Structure 1
Amino acid sequence: MASKNKTAKNEIDVTEFIQSFVESEQKKQDSFQLIELMKEWSGYEPKMWGPTMIGFGSYHYKYESGHEGDAMIIGFSPRKAQFSLYVAAPEEEDKKLLEDLGKFKMAKACIYFKKLSDLNLDVLEKLSKSTIKYISENNECSCR
């Protein structure tokens, strides 16, 4: 039996989540600005994924192991210490873009940054659109 994905889309109100979860006024402003940008770049309305992630669009994935599920195409989480940004950078030109993204730390599945002004928003837009393109070409996706 396949395990259920822990991070599923839900009906929590995004604005209410930010107002109640995010303590810093700067982080609230950054969150609302990031929502507007990602909405514009993706063409999707923001939806909550799990208790703390805000995602735009969705796609279905299936691994060779048989594990499958649905995930957000792009998104972020305004965590207490720093933001977590969920964009992929799988292509070689994306890796070059990261050099100009700004002040951030990279982990396997996400990019961490403290405030939106630390990032080059033009580069973030290119990374986000590249992620959408890559996912639409490689997965079952509503973004086609």
Structure 2
Amino acid sequence: MTTKAQISRYLEALPEPKQGDMRKLHGAILDMNPGCKLWFLDGKDESGKIVSNPCIGYGTLGKQYANGKTKQVFQAGISANSAGLSVYIMGMDDKKYLQSKYGDSIGKANVTGYCIKFKALKDINLDTLKKAIQDGVEQTRA
């Protein structure tokens, strides 16, 4: 199954209004980053055990580990979970940047070093979220 088909199946399986919010976020990120690599992580490890929520990823980032090995990961990602939605902005060096730049203007969201969590899109300022995502993508663009 193609990545686009996996993403489509994942989105279709989500209940409303979460499905609508995820579709809107997915479309917005694709509009901001046309032609970016798409990822779909089903949340399962090599043995098939569920270890995380499924996640849609966008772009490519080379993540270097302490042992010197590099692994390709996504630059930004979105995921639905029991509490709402999470947006992941990967690879930023300053773990306080997102909170200090966007925390006060984003609305009802928990902003950490790489994750913005919120219950629904109606609870946040979507333009601010889009700026935060694009800011992170730009900072990690190769």
TM range (shorter): 0.7 to 0.9
- Runs of 5+ consecutive residues of structure 2 not aligned to the other structure: 44-53
Q: Structure 1 residues 99 and 76 mapped into 2: Cα distance closer, same or farther (>3 Å)?
A: same
Q: For residues 63 and 111 of structure 2, what CA distance do their matches in structure 1 show?
A: 23
Secondary structure class of the residue paired with 1:124: helix
Select 1:34's aligned residue among 16, 19, 25: 25
Name 1:5's counterpart in structure 2.
Answer: none
Structure with more contact order per residue of length (Cα contacts < 8 Å, sep ≥ 6): 1
Q: How does 1:73-88 map to 2 (within 5 A)?
A: 73-87=75-89
Is the 8 Å Cα contact of residues 11 and 22 (structure 2) preserved in structure 1? yes
Distance 2:130 2:112 in 1: 19
How many corresponding residue pairs?
Answer: 126
| 1:41-87 deviation per Cα after TM superposition (whole angstroms, max 9, x unaligned) | 12226431343001111121213432421111111101122211112
Identity of aligned residues (%): 22
**Number of the residue aligned with 1:114:** 119
Determine the structure 2 residue equivalent to 1:47: 39
- Other-structure match for 1:56: 58
Choose which of 130, 133, 138 in structure 2 pairs with 1:128: 133
Moved more, 37-46 or 24-33: 37-46
Does the 8 Å contact 2:85/2:120 carry over to 1? yes
Q: Let me know the Cα RMSD of the aligned residues.
A: 2.3
TM-score (norm 2): 0.76
Q: Which one-letter code corresponds to 2:138 in the other structure?
A: K
- Give unmatched runs, 5+ long, in structure 1: 1-9
Q: Distance in 1 between matches of 2:133 and 2:19?
A: 21
